Amino acid sequence: MKTVSLFLLVALMSLVSLTVKAQSAPRPTVIGYYSGDSVKVSRYPVEKLTHLIFSFGHLRENEFFLNKRKDTLLLQNMVALKKRNPSMKVMVSLGGWSGCATCSPIFANADNRKVFARSVKKALVDFGADGIDLDWEYPAIQGFPGHAYSPDDRANFTALIKALRKELGKRYEISFAAGGFTEYLEKSIDWKQVMPMVDRVNLMTYDLVSGYSTISGHHTPLYSTAAFPQSVDRAVTWLDSIGVPVNKLVLGAAFYARIFETKDTLDHGLNRPASFKRGLSYKDFRGLTDSAGFTRYWDAKAQAPYSFNPHTREFASYDDSASIALKTKYVWQHHLNGIMFWELADDKESGGLLDVIDETLKKLF
């Protein structure tokens, strides 16, 4: 009887400790990128976001530039959503996978960096936005095929952040989207110099198996496996090991699937010779159901779902409600800044993955 009572007391104390910890810790940020329709953005539950990121602004010569026909209306509508969620920050993003063709040569020049920083501030003031997210893919290493890159990009990226912070002051937020894979982490950024000047870094811990891969695999796993070491946990652990403050790290989740066509049907298509076939938004995941010939599996080591159709030899890697809940809990357990995802337009307008994040956080805070 005493043993049972002691067990109950220990369990109660642990519960109280976790509750106090959750109540004392700041609620994590929830950040969604958006590149979709300017009208449909209002259909999403933006009340569940802390940040909404306009994707993407462009670099025209040495200035931040918005396409007047499309971009201007979208950004205006995104800022207008702050009436529904006054505490939400609306950020503008530069670049994207194919949007930084001239970043390397332009940002190599100090005068260009100053002009760019001034143009960013003007855009933020004109539209009533709250900061900039740099999505340069990638400084110092190869990114989009044909885009220029140089070893000097690493130092120039630091200088760019410095120019932006000097121009924007403390009024506006600065973040950047960082590759979640080893080469980027080790070569692209001078973390010691950059992190004190930014509010957070959005880790793109997705596309870790890219469209250029010849082997199928988890493109956004929580943990590493022997077959594929890249993962959310590996990126976070490595950055923590070099002194990057974890309370500035934002974990990245995928609201879409990457589908590969495998050469055979062994191991349900996982880690097999394959070629990338297509992407699929979470809102269209009915195409991955049993009725479509797919079977869902769970990798207990990677803590990641995947599906396979043996008839078409299609392998799908993605986040779903189970893995999103685990990633959200990981943010809390490791005291990270928050969770972000690409992208809101891929989600369901209701009952989607953003709702899973919100529901999970409500249980923790």
Residue 9's pLDDT band (cuts 50, 70, 90) = low
Average the pLDDT over each of 7-21, 177-191, 259-273 and give the range with the smallest value: 7-21
Mean local confidence (pLDDT), 334-359: 98
Structural tokens at position 76: 């205006």
Residue by residue, DSSP assigns 293-315 as T-EEEEETTTTEEEEEETTTTEE
Q: Is the pLDDT of residue 20 over 90?
A: no
Q: How confident is the model at residue 240 (pLDDT cuts 50, 70, 90)?
A: very high
Is there a domain that residue 260 lies in? no
Domain membership flag for residue 234: yes
What pLDDT, on a 0 to 100 scale, did the predictor assign at position 69?
A: 83
Query: Is the residue at 273 inside a domain?
Result: no
On whether residue 152 sits in a domain, the answer given is yes
Q: What is the pLDDT of residue 59?
A: 97
Pairing of strands 249-254, 256-262: unpaired
Q: Tell whether 293 is covered by a domain.
A: no
Number of Cβ within 10 Å of residue 319's Cβ equals: 28
Task: Name which of 22-36, 93-107, 329-343 the model is least confident about.
Answer: 22-36
* 23 pLDDT more than 80: no
pLDDT at 332: 98
Mean pLDDT of 276-303: 97
**Exposure of 157 by Cβ count < 10 A (0-12 exposed, 13-18 middle, 19+ buried)?**
buried
| pLDDT, tens digit, 9 for 90 and up, residues 65-79 | 998 888 999 999 999
Average pLDDT over residues 184-210: 98
| Residue 1 pLDDT | 45
pLDDT of residue 13: 58
If pLDDT is split at 50, 70 and 90, which confidence band does 4 have? very low
Q: What is the mean pLDDT of residues 331-349?
A: 98
262 in a structural domain: no
- How many structural domains are present in the chain? 1
Rounded Cα gap, residues 140 and 151, in angstroms = 5
Top pLDDT among 4 and 131 is at 131
**Is the residue at 277 inside a domain?**
no
| Higher-confidence position of 68 and 237 | 237
Residue 11 confidence (pLDDT) above 90: no
Confidence at residue 6, expressed as pLDDT on a 0 to 100 scale? 53
pLDDT at 68: 82
Task: With CA atoms as reference, report the closest residue to 361 among 47, 127, 81.
Answer: 47
The residue length of the chain stands at: 365
Residue 91: which CATH number? 3.20.20.80
pLDDT band at 221 (very low <50, low <70, confident <90, very high): very high
For residue 356, pLDDT over 90 is answered with yes
Q: How buried is 102 (Cβ within 10 angstroms: 0-12 exposed, 13-18 middle, 19+ buried)?
A: middle
Instruction: Give all strands of the β-sheet with 295-299 in edge-to-edge order.
Output: 274-281, 256-262, 314-317, 304-309, 295-299
Is 2 part of any domain? no
Tell me what pLDDT residue 70 has.
87
The parent domain of residue 45 ranges over 25-254+319-364
**Please, what is the average pLDDT of the chain?**
94
Q: Report the pLDDT averaged over residues 42-53.
A: 98
Percent of the chain whose predicted confidence (pLDDT) is above 90: 92
Find out whether 353 and 255 touch, Cβ atoms under 8 Å: yes
